[in-house]
Amino acid sequence: MAAAVVVTRVRMVGAVAVAALFAAGLTGCDDAKDRPAVSTTVAPPPASSTAGATSAGSVAGMSTEPFGRVGDTAVTRYTLANDKGMRVRILDYGGIVQSLEAPDRAGRAANVVLGFPTLADYVAKNSPAAGGPYFGAIAGRYANRIAKGLFTLDGKTYTVPVNNNGNSLHGGSSGFDQKVWRARQEGGSLRLEYVSAAGEMGYPGALTAVVTYSLDNDNRLTVDYHATTDAPTVVNLTNHSYWNLAGESAGPVYDHKLTLNADRYTPVDGTQIPTGRLEPVADTPMDFTKPAVIGSRIGADNPQLKIGRGYDHNWVINRPDDSALVQAAVLEDPMSGRTLTVSTTQPGIQCYTGNFLTGDLLGTSNHAYRQGAGVALETQHFPDSPNHPDFPSTVLRPGQTYHQVTVYQLGVTK
């Protein structure tokens, strides 16, 4: 069906707007059947300069500074800060969340996401060509995997680059994570736009993607995704931040408690492609319907855990309908007291426990990231959806608007 869907357009300008989202919900990109490179030469940044930004009442302010160049293109780092001690640094290269500082129960701030200190590190080490981890980046045009880099749309088969165990991962060999996005400040929000040309990485249709980051005084970082196309295509966007609520250099997150609002998950084959089944999590190590310590069952004798060397699976979020903003996950660090609540309009969430981090990457504090150093909670449509007609569709057609929202709320336990 090609009927366009009217979507709710919301300007994220603070706690009132986000609260309205929770109350009203949002629609996705389509109806029940059809829902929804740059040069690697890097120059260092010049001497830091900071420009003030106008606050929209939702944040204390925004500042900018040069962060180097990729080829002839300047890269800028934007800092969003609120009145509650939370500060988020975002690059227009890859839309990367480089750092996110949040207070613990004693009011002490720490960076709680993994990342690199320099642009050169992101270019050289974050990309799939380097076996990179996609720290903090926007993944697209299709986040997660497409089996064998092949899918059929309207009777035509498309080929996209394979870059992960014979499959296409996060858009292929040169995805949205490696692009310099066009940025502008909108009040207290940062709006990023990237136009992916028709045929880029093999995908049909010119896709205009807009991702807006907003921070409010309830310590909510809202990520609002929009996309439109001039020809039928597929789209799946997410943010690939790795969280460590004890601090990015604190070591494994295996002592963190995780709750997932999901009674089912999508089991995978040996190449991490969904089998097509939606399996119950009950009586398996995949059951996080009640708070569970991440490390308590990660080493269980379970075929699914062996495939990914730990958790690297998509959970099917429990939701009353297809458009509501619902709570998907809660993460808690018992030592610092920090909590992270993830709410989203997306149908799935990929939990990846950093299983392939090997200690060869040094983070923002010059600390080596080893296995389990962070956990990614990637809100998304299901992996390989273009090849599974029973999964929520990722097809986007001209006249339709892809629109998804994810909210990351930092808090503390008493």
Burial class (CB in 10 A: 0-12, 13-18, 19+), 185: middle
Radius of gyration of the chain (CA): 20
Closest CA to 104 of 334, 393, 283, 350: 334
Q: What is the mean predicted confidence (pLDDT) over 19-26?
A: 42
Q: Which of 22-26, 75-79, 329-333, 366-370 has the lowest mean pLDDT?
A: 22-26
Three-state DSSP state, 212: strand
Taken in order of first residue, the domains within the chain and their CATH numbers are 15-412 (2.70.98.10)
Confidence of residue 372 (pLDDT cuts 50, 70, 90): very high
**CA 198 – CA 196 distance, rounded (Å):** 7
Q: Does residue 77 have a cis bond before it (omega within 30 degrees)? A: no
Distances (CA, A) of 115 to 41, 119, 187, 244, 354: 20, 10, 26, 11, 13
Q: What is the mean predicted confidence (pLDDT) over 111-117?
A: 98
Tens digits of residue pLDDT in 298-322:
999 999 999 999 999 999 999 988 7
Burial class (CB in 10 A: 0-12, 13-18, 19+), 270: exposed
Share of the chain above pLDDT 90, in %: 82
**CA 192 – CA 196 distance, rounded (Å):** 13
Q: What is the mean predicted confidence (pLDDT) over 107-117?
A: 98
Which of 313, 378, 381, 388 is catalytic? The answer is 378
Residue 68 has a pLDDT of 98
Does the pLDDT at position 248 exceed 80?
yes
Does the pLDDT at position 28 exceed 60?
no
Confidence of residue 46 (pLDDT cuts 50, 70, 90): low
Which residues are CB-neighbours of 395 under 8 A, at least 6 positions away? 30, 34, 35, 36, 153, 232, 233, 234, 386
Exposure string of 199-218, with b = 16+ CB inside 10 Å and e = fewer, is ebbbbbbbbebbbbbbbbeb
Q: What is the mean predicted confidence (pLDDT) over 142-159?
A: 98
Cα distance from N-terminal residue to C-terminal residue, the chain: 51
Which of 101, 200, 226, 240 is catalytic? The answer is 240
* Known catalytic membership, residue 403: no
Three-state DSSP state, 23: helix
Q: What is the mean predicted confidence (pLDDT) over 281-287?
A: 98
* Known catalytic membership, residue 200: no
Residue 187 has a pLDDT of 87
**Average pLDDT score over the chain:** 89
Q: What is the pTM of this model?
A: 0.88
Residue type, 196: S
Contact 252, 234 (CB under 8 A): no
Three-state DSSP state, 387: helix
Residue 369 has a pLDDT of 97
The string of DSSP letters for 309-365 reads TS-EEEEE---SSSS--EEEEEEE-TTT-EEEEEEESSSEEEEE--TT--S-EE-TT
Distances (CA, A) of 84 to 58, 111, 281, 313, 409: 11, 15, 37, 34, 12
Helix (H) or strand (E) holding 408: strand 402-412
Residue 44 has a pLDDT of 55
Quick one: DSSP state of residue 295? G
Greatest CA separation found in the chain? Answer: 58
The count of C-alpha atoms lying within 13 angstroms of the C-alpha of 68, restricted to the half-sphere facing its C-beta, is 17
Q: What is the mean predicted confidence (pLDDT) over 13-35?
A: 40
Tens digits of residue pLDDT in 74-110:
999 999 999 999 999 999 999 999 999 999 999 999 9
Q: What is the mean predicted confidence (pLDDT) over 35-52?
A: 43
Count of Cβ atoms closer than 10 Å to residue 268 Cβ: 20
Residue 57 has a pLDDT of 37
Three-state DSSP state, 164: strand
Residue 323 has a pLDDT of 79
